[in-house]
Amino acid sequence: MDILSDLFAILIFPSGLFLLIAGLLYEWADRKLLAQLQNRIGPRWFQPFADVTKLLAKEEVIPTGVNPYLFVGLPIIALAGGLTAALYVPIGGVAPAYSFNGDLIVTLYLLSLLTLCMGLAGSNTMDRFSLVGATRTLTQLFSYEAPFLLALLGPAIVAGSWQISQITNYTNGHWLVLTQPLGFIVVLIGLMGKLELPPFDAPEAETEIVAGALTEYSGRGLAMFRLGKGIEMVIGLTLVAAFYLGGVSNPLWFLVKTLGLLLVVAILQAVLARLRIDQTVGMWWRYGALLVLIQWLFMIGMRVAI
């Protein structure tokens, strides 16, 4: 029975099939919301499914000058990283499938795997657009990752644990967005940077470097990277909602809170122009890191006072 429930958790829910579908649906919701804000009609609900199905059915072209094992392997690792991360996160408002002390750090590491894989995938090819894109992807990773991580550790400190299930136990009923507003802002914008959404889409700015690091990818590899992005969006939104918005104790709250966050993200995407990569780095280290540090000082001050 134990093996069966393990297989269920890995293949169907919360990871596996459910997450893949949820990722595509959230991708659709994001695109649709952004389209509506920009006075466009936007895609129909099954468009991401159709795109991925079509990509999976297509031939994967392996360009000359790449290491073919890396080229094929990186998208698989990226997708696997995302799927594994989901096991430790309260996806769908249900308690995480697995839990151990310190799983927050593991989850965050697994989430960064996608970006790392994209950077490596870009550097692996000889294409100039991919190389510039990979440089930008990794540069961006180094700029948002530290403030993002520090901002997610804020709730962990308040809850007194680095275990996601214990933190969510604490945050159920505690709206940390009220007590840690700076951390919330940083984490939400950090999530946009992680997902390379506008204004942080310099790594895939089509008017400069075509599709960035993934320019040479087609067929299965591209489909897996896209699935990985969708998954990362769901996990990221879940984490933010669970930590800062009073927890996701049941499926309804999960839907309402993550979609509410998605709306905020879509509005930010619509009103902001793309940043240059040097501006992105400057912004994160000048303001993002500073905001988190102020938040931390405040928290430490409160702890000492109490």
Partner 1 sequence: MMEKTANEQFTVPIGPQHPALKEPGSFRFNVDGEVVTGATVRLGYAHRGIEKATEGRNFVQNIYLLERICGICSDIHATAYVLAVEQLAGVEAPPRAQAIRILVAELERIHSHLLWVGVAAHEAGFDTLFMYSWRDRETIMDILEGLTGNRVNYSVNLLGGVKVDVDEQQKDTILKGIEFLEERTKHYLDVITKDAMFLQRTRGVGIFTRTQAEVLGAVGPTARASDVARDVRVEAPYGAYKDFPVNMITEKGCDVEARFVVRIRELFESYRLVREILNKLPEGELTARFPRRIKPGEAISRVEAPRGELFYFVKSNGTDKPERVKVRTPTICNMTSVVKLAVGHQLADVPMILVGIDPCFSCNDRAVSIDHHQHGREDWSMEELREYGIRFYHGHT
Q: Which is nearer to partner 1, 77 or 131 (CB)?
A: 131
Q: In angstroms, what is the minimal distance from the CB of 65 to partner 1?
A: 5
What H or E segment, with its residue span, contains residue 36? Answer: helix 17-37
d(CA 184, CA 191): 11
Q: Which is nearer to partner 1, 58 or 276 (CB)?
A: 276
Q: Which is nearer to partner 1, 54 or 128 (CB)?
A: 128
Q: In angstroms, what is the minimal distance from the CB of 80 to partner 1?
A: 30
d(CA 241, CA 237): 6
Q: How many helices (H) and strands (E) does the chain have?
A: 14, 0
- The letter for the amino acid at 284 is W
d(CA 228, CA 231): 5
Q: In angstroms, what is the minimal distance from the CB of 211 to partner 1?
A: 9
d(CA 148, CA 139): 15
Q: In angstroms, what is the minimal distance from the CB of 28 to partner 1?
A: 18
Q: Which is nearer to partner 1, 6 or 206 (CB)?
A: 206
Q: Which is nearer to partner 1, 273 or 306 (CB)?
A: 273
Q: Provide the binding-site residues for partner 1, judged by CB under 8 A.
A: 37-40, 64-65, 126, 128-129, 131-132, 135, 198-199, 201-202, 205-210, 270-279
Q: Which is nearer to partner 1, 54 or 276 (CB)?
A: 276
Q: Which is nearer to partner 1, 262 or 275 (CB)?
A: 275
The sign of the dihedral angle between the CA atoms of 265, 169, 181, 156 is negative
Q: Which is nearer to partner 1, 134 or 234 (CB)?
A: 134
8 A C-beta contact, residue 167 and residue 89: no
Q: What's the token pair of residue 218? A: 């087609």
Q: In angstroms, what is the minimal distance from the CB of 271 to partner 1?
A: 7
| CA 10, chain centre distance (Å) | 19
Q: In angstroms, what is the minimal distance from the CB of 116 to partner 1?
A: 21
Q: In angstroms, what is the minimal distance from the CB of 212 to partner 1?
A: 11
HEC assignment per residue over 89-157:
CCHHHCCCCCCCCCHHHHHHHHHHHHHHHHHHHHHHCCCHHHHHHHHHHHHHHHHHHHHHHHHHHHHHH
Q: Which is nearer to partner 1, 51 or 80 (CB)?
A: 51
Q: In angstroms, what is the minimal distance from the CB of 305 to partner 1?
A: 36
Smallest CA-to-CA distance from 226 within 268, 270, 196 is with 196
Q: In angstroms, what is the minimal distance from the CB of 206 to partner 1?
A: 4
- Residue 67 CA neighbour count, 13 Å, CB half: 9
d(CA 177, CA 158): 12
